[in-house]
Structure 1
Amino acid sequence: MNPNDTFRKEPIGRLISHIHRSQQKYLSRSLGEYDIGGGGQYSFLKAILHSPGTTQEQLTCDLKFDKATTARSVKQLEEAGYIERRTDPGDRRSYLLFPTRKAEEFLPVLQRVLDESNAKMTRDLTEEEKQQLTLLLQKIRLDL
Structure 2
Amino acid sequence: MKDILRPIGVVSRALDSIANIEFKEMDLSRGQYLYLVRICESPGIILERLANMLKVDKTTAARSIQKLELKGLIERRSDHINRKIKMIYPTEKGEAVYPVLQREERYSNSVAMRGFSKAEQDQLFELMERVANNVDDDWKLVKGGSKRNY
Residues matched between the structures, number = 135
**2:136 is the counterpart of 1:143:** yes
62, 78, 81: which is aligned to 1:90?
A: 81
Confirm or deny that 1:31 pairs with 2:23: yes
Query: Aligned AA for 1:28?
Result: N
Consecutive unaligned residues in structure 2, runs of 5 or more: 138-150
Return the alpha-carbon distance in structure 2 between the equivalents of residues 136 and 54 of structure 1.
27
Aligned-partner Cα distance in 1 for 2:87–2:41: 14
Indicate the percent of aligned positions where both proteins have the same amino acid: 37
Deviates more, 1:110-119 or 1:43-52: 43-52
Contact 1:27/1:117 (<8 A) preserved: no
**Which residue number in structure 2 is paired with residue 11 of structure 1?**
3
Matches within 5 A, 1:44-123: 44-123=35-114
Matched, 1:125 2:116: yes
- Report the Cα distance in structure 2 between the residues aligned to 1:117 and 1:28, rounded to whole angstroms: 13
Larger relative contact order (CA 8 Å, sep ≥ 6) = 1
* TM-score, normalization by structure 1: 0.83
1:98-125: per-residue Cα shift (whole Å, max 9, x none)?
1101111222111001111112222232
Alpha-carbon shift at residue 127 of structure 1 (Å)? 2.8
TM-score, normalization by structure 2: 0.80
